[in-house]
Structure 1
Amino acid sequence: MIKYNGWLFFFIFIFCALNSSADEWIRINQLGYLPQSKKVAVFMSETPINLQEFALIDVFTGETKRTFRTLRAGGSIGKMLCTYRLNFSDFEEPGTYCIKAGNTVSPHFPINHRVYHGTADFLLHYMRQQRCGYNPFLKDSCHTHDGYIVYHPTKTGQHIDVRGGWHDATDYLQYTTTTANAIYQLLFAYQQNPEAFADAYNADGHQGANGIPDIIDEAKWGLDWLNRMNPAKGELYNQIADDRDHAGMRLPNKDLVDYGYGPGKGRPVYFCSGEPQVRGTYMNATTGVASTAGKFASCFALGAEVLKPFYPEFAQEIGAKADDAYQEGVKKPGACQTASVKSPYIYEEDNWTDDMELGAIELYRTTKNPNYLTQAIEYGRCEPVTPWMGADSARHYQWYPFMNMGHYRLAQTDNQRLSNEFIRNMRSGIQRTYEKAVASPFLHGIPYIWCSNNLTTAMLTQCRLYRETTGDSTYEEMEAALRDWLFGCNPWGTSMVVELPLSGDYPIQPHSSLLNAGVGNTTGGLVDGPVYRSIFENLRGVNMDGIPGRPGEDYKRFQPDQMVYHDAISDYSTNEPTMDGTACLTYYLSSLQKEGMKQANGEPDRNIYQDGGIIRTDPSKKQITLVFTAADKADGADPILRILKKHGIKGGFFFTGEFYERFPQVIQRLKADGHYVGGHSYGHLLYAAWENRDSLLVTREAFEKDLLKSYETMRKAGIAYKDASVYIPPHEYYNKQIAAWARNMGVQVINFTPGTLTNADYTTPDMKNYRSSRDIYNKVMEVEAREGLNGHIMLIHFGTADSRTDKFYDKPMEKLIKTLKKKGYTFVFPF
């Protein structure tokens, strides 16, 4: 192996390469890669280059781990005259790496089993932000007067309670079309991958576990609304509000648009009449009710199944409605489009047999009535392939949902002939897309119509479901390319999900009223994605205006000829997050998390997180983790080691690089006793201001330089960074940005569980916050009596000032261990 002359030289080399004005770039998946997965980066250059090889370099050691010749020329794209696909799929060793090719170096990225951990749950941040009715992000309510019926033959003008649901995007319209698809996808994601979802929020969307996975809380929020939109048999509603909503950016709780009922006093609720509807210049092309009715039916049937363990009465209620909704579609076949008043932009859904197919097969799954299966097959044969797949263009949401989940359900039946037929249908759609994709260096064959990222997510889902059903890996590289496209392996080098990863390049100016008002970003939202240049140039009101004081990013250097993407708040065509696209990504990301767990032979992660750091292990287990930190003191070494050995306890020890250099004998004793020995920074930096945790005191460069130096001292002590991947930040103080930077380096932040005050054992009698050992012991026992200590991480300092003669790490710690053992607790280090 080639080795650079010292890690510091290598670190400087990397940053110089990344910040140079070179005309070469390497695009990667910024989240990283699972060890056993397709891994392909894309090299691109503004000048021709005959690339023969590329190298994978270990960021921590500077070693070239391997040189590859597995690259394929990809032709030109925009100003990039030369592209190559760099395939390193057969490299599976966990670590943190970068790619060197030509005269450039990629951003670094991790390869490990946890790169997708928590990503599906992360998307739910945006879903909670989009809640209508009570909004937990704003801690306020909106649209509480909805709404007033229109287009009903006898009830027009009457008020109906249809509060709740989600706003569709930055506007506050609400559509059954997109909401039902989002609900179904959330339910399906949980049904397929329940072990991937955590419980960190309650039903209202506020932090705090309620015993129900967060994705179920979110699906229930949507189903409550859908239930209200079907108040009686034969009474289905398709839409709340219309494009009169487009009255400038304002927060939803400040929405005073007047639809004729008074400013902010209620909005129209559109009945599914089955006839074209118009309330202004434009008329839609509604031909029936089936597209909406099928969506109601599939959501109610699957919702009843998935929610039964959590909400049995509600599950029974919506389950009883599923067939009634389905029969409305049978009576009134055809597509039910949305309505518009002032503009021509609506969801122009043309197809409907796919919705009825899914409704029928879900009813069959719950009832086993063969008539539903027969009908599902008939509907499924009407549209073997979702028409956008392989097409160059389509009208807005013309063929929706973008993936036919009914085909997958039919492919799962016990009838082999039937299964083969619908597997073939799934494969045909993928093959059509693949035939377009091979012409792209990014292996991306999606038409760049409005919401192209939603189509990307749909094809991702279809590829994975097809591969899992058949074992056929023919399209696995395209699947990986679609995945990587969403997280930075695209011409612009940006993630398409806001703040995922927080350490990477992501949309910082999405089209959002939250951002416009300065109250936050659309965290977790999947933006629309690139559109054909012709679409962008012909839309009303789109431009490159950014937020005040910060222009929009036009990515001019990287724009392909045929399409554009911009990070600008005024570009609603490419940079607006959508609720349905975001929800549809939960299945795929949760599948990747489950796959990572399987590769690691690990159990579901039941740890409790705060700002990206683990602050408590599985609260269902009566176990405690002892961790010790030190910067420059080791006076507790003898009593701590003696007590832990006496009681058969393995602990975690986290030291600064300076400690490693000062106390090498202590490190060797800890290693000999089998304890975990990890990092605590090199120079004991303070990362964030005490008075404002979100205010960084270090740059990313300073953080990574210090971290690398810390791990270099550990390596000299015989501790490889791969064996010390959990890390307690200096001063036990960090924020979500620090945790994200660490995660990008392949390092997981952990910290003590708040509440017991064991971390106050450093205080001295002259301090206002002084806590004696008795105070600390009593506090631990108080917390234990009140709520238990299951999963607690207890931090004790490895050394304290001489002026503190009352050393908790000695007799008080042993007393605590003995007491807690008698209460049935075990002491483990589970990381």
Structure 2
Amino acid sequence: MIMRFVLFVSLLLSSLSVITPDDPPAVIRINLLGYRPGSPKIAVWGSLTGQTAGTFELVDEQTSQVIRQLPAGRAFGEYGPFRQTYRLDFSAFRKPGRYYLRTADGARSPGFRIGEGVYAGAADFCLRYMRQQRSGYNPFLKDSCHTHDGYTMYGPMPDSTHIDASGGWHDASDYLQYVTTSANATYHLLAALRDFPTAFGDQYQTNGLAGMNGQPDVLDEARWGLDWLLKMHPTDTWLFNQLGDDRDHSAMRIPKQDSMYGKGAERPVYFATGQPQGLFKYKNRATGVASTAGKVSSALSLGYQLLRNRQANYVSRAYVDKLQKRSQSAYTLGIQKPGNSQTAPGRAPYFYEEDNYVDDMELATVEQLNATRATGAQATKWQNTALAFARREPVTPWILNDTARHYQWYPFVNVGHAELAKHLPRASRKTVTDFYKSGIETIWKRGSQNAFYRGVPFTWCSNNLTTSFATQCFWYRQLTADDQFASLEQANFDWLFGCNPWGTSFVYGLPANADTPSDPHSSFTHLKNYPIDGGLVDGPVRGSIYGNLIGITLHEPDEYAPFQSKVAVYHDDYGDYSTNEPTMDGTASLVYLLAAKHAETYKPAPKPIPGRKATLPANKLPVKRGTDRNSTYFKGAKIRGDTTVRNLALVFTGDEFADGGSSIARTLQKHSVRASFFLTGRFLRNPAFASLVKQLKQGGHYLGPHSDQHLLYCDWTRRDSLLVNRQQFVNDLRANYAALAQVDHTDKTPRLFLPPYEWYNDSIAAWTKREGVQLINYTPGTLSHADYTTPQDRNYRSSATILTSIRAYEQQKTAGLNGFILLMHIGTASARTDKLYAHLDEFLSEFRQKGYQFVRIDEL
């Protein structure tokens, strides 16, 4: 993680919030992901001016009907930027649907869902960031980096000895790699699969490229971590702790081959000696090896347990045996060299200052018990050893303190308590679960007096602490069946996804079309406008910490200015490295929490009754909505929906011509099909097309933007070369939406945009996202988009040729046209007399018989 100099002084800022006449007097903050029917459902109303709220309304988003009017409850008083706050409790309402909340003062929440599946696919979505963080071969970039790592330092071998240390994950937005965070991340991914296997799909191969391999994607990602951990612990007595140092921070760059370490493209690999280290002026305070060795042992042991029964073509017996052997040798090193193995500083006094290790050895002990399947006296011995470690650190120390050095007490949740409790008899088990309870009560004492139930301190990486604390609450509830802290658990989960003073989710791109980070402190986004889907950013810091940071410069006006305060500060701005940098290990911890939330609601499909065959009339087939985790994206645009469901979206674009409009509308009506039409501002303002637009609107079709003036955004041969700047793009898109609003007053969710000429790049996708819109494009593979070509064109394609290409694709591909976005034009130049839309009737009949259901693009 990139760190800068922080003066830890107690100076409190008088105020960071600035209220302008345009700011709302009050806001309503909700969980943008939504709520399960049976879970606590709380929103927070906050006033910047001090007025009060008596009641609030729950409103159906589709019909604008008021469903319930409820009391606002007791006032919680000031918090952060708010002079008055309330917790709006609508937990008793359980009906699935889309809703929003509003109060008489004009405050209105964003729309949200209530439903059992609101968290489905979220854990898989965050795995996208983990894949993007891979070192060695990077599947997002489809390129390799750091393949020459590395040369040893501090080891028993001569310094600068080469070892193979390529692989693993980059730690954050820099490219350092730490065994302590990587082992913790690997363990969380493996535990998520062990505990919640239904939360994950199979859309990627082991190398991270798209394609099924018969194994859950979370296991593929965890294996990437396991492989690297084995390289960092290659023999019984060799354990390395770190790859690279803060010389990495010399420049922002897309990873390729680093050359700032003085030995070609190699980076230094630090041996875990248990003694202070640092190649330059500054040294860490290491006292032992156990904090790293314990984490490595736990991860390798759990990997062994999950892989030992996997099919032989996925892992070899030798690989599984190596996991077990190295797990045992790492555990031995932890016993032999107790103490903390901190990371090594470089030219600046920054390092991960871990000061505890007994939690790591507690978990490692339990995993040795699990791996050996010990019983009787041997099992009791393992349990007693783990319990002795547990008693030395009953509560994770950050919970008891409101300040901490960077990663001083890591990991941020004691996983060992949960794993140990599963093995203990009732009396001893309560001892361990009470350790959890004591920590939870400490946070509750702090948080119960404010409307957000915020008791987690605003130190650096506060979102990692929040994720870990919500997980601790979950484990306590699962182990004890004591749900007295369920609202506190939910409040910490809600905080991560929008129920916070800024009203934003802290996870890039989750949920789609909501307020999420768009300008994080990341080379990928800053230099290339690459999306970093699923990355959890550091989160808010105390105002006094932010006020004394050196080197922060905001690059754009602060959109959250009214909501900054001395309590906490957060910026969605590349220049704020303290609050807006994504981290690999924090994201991995969130994968576990999201999998837990999904699994609580998972209900397997009912088994068919023997002898009974379910049938439905062909014209009464239900629309099956796909899940976004199975969708396909390219350069930030969604180009295909769920390939496991036989849905197909017809998309028509229009600018100059509309000669097929009436025919298309009539044919769609005949087949009771709703399609999607993306129209330019020029099309929408053309009086000759007004009646057609009205007809499409009345037919229930999706109407979306296709740019106002049908601009070409980027060069045809040099895709990364933009032909418009951001302001030109934004002005044009907003003009298109203004024209659309004159004919379609529906407040669509999601908001989708199909670019002109179906041509765009990563910058266009990023700019679109910042406007709160999701970019889409047609699915490649057929020639349907060539229906505009004329016989004079070199690339002319007849309707027969186009239809043949569609049929051939459908027959040759395993998934057929599942999830396909099939694009055609609503009209073409008169020089084309062979109109594809004239074949729409036969096309719909043919593919209906094949079992396809035609859905709007927002249903795909």
TM category (shorter chain) comes to: 0.7 to 0.9
- The offset of 1:206, in angstroms, is 4.1
What whole-Å deviation, never above 9, does each CA across 1:184-234 have from its counterpart, x for those lacking one? 112222333333334444444444555544333322222221110011112
Distance in 2 between residues matched to 1:341 and 1:170, nearest whole Å: 17
Task: Give the match for residue 9 of structure 1.
Answer: none
Distance in 2 between residues matched to 1:86 and 1:515, nearest whole Å: 36
CA separation of 1:446 and 1:626: change in aligned 2, threshold 3 A: closer
Question: Which of 256, 260, 270 is the matching residue for 2:259?
Answer: 256
Task: Give the match for residue 224 of structure 2.
Answer: 221
Contact 1:530 1:563 in 2 (8 A): yes
Task: Give the match for residue 191 of structure 1.
Answer: 194
Task: Give the match for residue 421 of structure 1.
Answer: 431
2:82 aligned with 1:80: yes
- The offset of 1:686, in angstroms, is 7.3
- The offset of 1:418, in angstroms, is 4.0
Task: Give the match for residue 461 of structure 1.
Answer: 471
Task: Give the match for residue 150 of structure 2.
Answer: 147
Question: Which of 535, 540, 545 is the matching residue for 1:530?
Answer: 540
Task: Give the match for residue 640 of structure 2.
Answer: 615
Task: Give the match for residue 573 of structure 1.
Answer: 578
Contact 1:751 1:793 in 2 (8 A): no
Distance in 2 between residues matched to 1:147 and 1:798, nearest whole Å: 55
2:487 aligned with 1:487: no
Distance in 2 between residues matched to 1:435 and 1:828, nearest whole Å: 54
Task: Give the match for residue 584 of structure 1.
Answer: 589
- The offset of 1:117, in angstroms, is 4.0
Task: Give the match for residue 122 of structure 1.
Answer: 125
What whole-Å deviation, never above 9, does each CA across 1:458-489 have from its counterpart, x for those lacking one? 01111223233333322222222212222232
Map 1:712-731 onto structure 2 (within 5 A): none
Letter in 1 for 2:268: P
Task: Give the match for residue 245 of structure 2.
Answer: 242
Contact 1:386 1:402 in 2 (8 A): yes
Contact 2:713 2:759 in 1 (8 A): no
Helix, strand or coil for the counterpart of 1:65?
Answer: strand
TM-score computed with the length of structure 2 as normaliser: 0.78
- The offset of 1:446, in angstroms, is 0.6
Helix, strand or coil for the counterpart of 2:490?
Answer: helix
Distance in 2 between residues matched to 1:813 and 1:83, nearest whole Å: 54
Helix, strand or coil for the counterpart of 1:55?
Answer: strand
Moved more, 602-611 or 744-753: 744-753
What whole-Å deviation, never above 9, does each CA across 1:601-635 have from its counterpart, x for those lacking one? 9999584333575735444x7x5758687997454
Contact 1:168 1:175 in 2 (8 A): yes
Distance in 2 between residues matched to 1:663 and 1:167, nearest whole Å: 49
Contact 1:123 1:586 in 2 (8 A): yes
CA separation of 1:204 and 1:110: change in aligned 2, threshold 3 A: same
Moved more, 559-568 or 788-797: 788-797
Task: Give the match for residue 801 of structure 2.
Answer: 775
Question: Which of 150, 173, 178 is the matching residue for 2:176?
Answer: 173
Task: Give the match for residue 63 of structure 2.
Answer: 61
2:310 aligned with 1:333: no
- The offset of 1:69, in angstroms, is 0.2
Contact 1:797 1:809 in 2 (8 A): no
Task: Give the match for residue 289 of structure 1.
Answer: 289
Letter in 2 for 1:159: H
Helix, strand or coil for the counterpart of 2:459?
Answer: coil
- The offset of 1:40, in angstroms, is 1.9
Moved more, 691-700 or 215-224: 691-700
- The offset of 1:180, in angstroms, is 0.8
- The offset of 1:366, in angstroms, is 2.5
Task: Give the match for residue 273 of structure 1.
Answer: 273
CA separation of 1:546 and 1:208: change in aligned 2, threshold 3 A: farther
- The offset of 1:586, in angstroms, is 0.8
Letter in 1 for 2:420: L
Letter in 2 for 1:462: Q
Question: Which of 29, 33, 41 is the matching residue for 1:39?
Answer: 41
Tell me the number of residue pairs that the alignment of Structure 1 and Structure 2 aligns: 773
2:415 aligned with 1:405: yes
- The offset of 1:689, in angstroms, is 5.3
What whole-Å deviation, never above 9, does each CA across 1:214-268 have from its counterpart, x for those lacking one? 333322222221110011112111112223333343443363323xx43x43232
Letter in 1 for 2:24: A
Task: Give the match for residue 21 of structure 1.
Answer: 23
Letter in 2 for 1:50: T
Helix, strand or coil for the counterpart of 2:397?
Answer: coil
What whole-Å deviation, never above 9, does each CA across 1:386-409 have from its counterpart, x for those lacking one? 122243222322221101112112
Letter in 2 for 1:164: G
Distance in 2 between residues matched to 1:405 and 1:468, nearest whole Å: 14
Moved more, 570-579 or 759-768: 759-768
- The offset of 1:97, in angstroms, is 3.5
Contact 2:241 2:272 in 1 (8 A): yes
CA separation of 1:663 and 1:829: change in aligned 2, threshold 3 A: closer
CA separation of 1:704 and 1:64: change in aligned 2, threshold 3 A: farther
What whole-Å deviation, never above 9, does each CA across 1:17-75 have from its counterpart, x for those lacking one? x9943332222333333444322222222332232112233444333332210433122
Distance in 2 between residues matched to 1:433 and 1:786, nearest whole Å: 58
Map 1:656-805 onto structure 2 (within 5 A): 662=695, 678-681=700-703, 699=733, 703=737, 706=740, 710=744, 754-757=780-783, 771-772=797-798, 774-790=800-816, 792-793=818-819, 803-804=833-834
Helix, strand or coil for the counterpart of 2:256?
Answer: helix
Helix, strand or coil for the counterpart of 1:463?
Answer: helix
Map 1:342-353 onto structure 2 (within 5 A): 342-353=347-358
Contact 1:682 1:709 in 2 (8 A): no
Contact 1:410 1:418 in 2 (8 A): no
CA separation of 1:418 and 1:828: change in aligned 2, threshold 3 A: farther
Moved more, 579-588 or 74-83: 74-83
CA separation of 1:373 and 1:156: change in aligned 2, threshold 3 A: farther
Moved more, 380-389 or 696-705: 696-705
Distance in 2 between residues matched to 1:58 and 1:635, nearest whole Å: 35
Contact 2:708 2:733 in 1 (8 A): no
What whole-Å deviation, never above 9, does each CA across 1:550-575 have from its counterpart, x for those lacking one? 35x38453233343333443433222
- The offset of 1:143, in angstroms, is 2.9
What whole-Å deviation, never above 9, does each CA across 1:755-774 have from its counterpart, x for those lacking one? 34467678787877665454
Helix, strand or coil for the counterpart of 2:332?
Answer: helix
Distance in 2 between residues matched to 1:243 and 1:444, nearest whole Å: 33
CA separation of 1:633 and 1:312: change in aligned 2, threshold 3 A: same
- The offset of 1:699, in angstroms, is 4.6
Distance in 2 between residues matched to 1:217 and 1:437, nearest whole Å: 38
CA separation of 1:661 and 1:514: change in aligned 2, threshold 3 A: closer
Helix, strand or coil for the counterpart of 1:104?
Answer: coil
What whole-Å deviation, never above 9, does each CA across 1:529-586 have from its counterpart, x for those lacking one? 22233433455x342x134xx35x3845323334333344343322222221121111
Contact 2:203 2:630 in 1 (8 A): no
CA separation of 1:711 and 1:559: change in aligned 2, threshold 3 A: closer
Distance in 2 between residues matched to 1:389 and 1:757, nearest whole Å: 59
CA RMSD, 1 decimal: 4.4
Distance in 2 between residues matched to 1:126 and 1:160, nearest whole Å: 27
CA separation of 1:732 and 1:316: change in aligned 2, threshold 3 A: farther
Distance in 1 between residues matched to 2:333 and 2:169, nearest whole Å: 24
Distance in 2 between residues matched to 1:744 and 1:38, nearest whole Å: 31
Letter in 1 for 2:812: R
Task: Give the match for residue 546 of structure 1.
Answer: 554
Contact 1:614 1:750 in 2 (8 A): yes
Contact 2:531 2:766 in 1 (8 A): no
Contact 2:203 2:212 in 1 (8 A): yes
Distance in 1 between residues matched to 2:479 and 2:763, nearest whole Å: 39
Task: Give the match for residue 315 of structure 2.
Answer: 311
Letter in 2 for 1:536: Y
Question: Which of 547, 563, 567 is the matching residue for 2:568?
Answer: 563
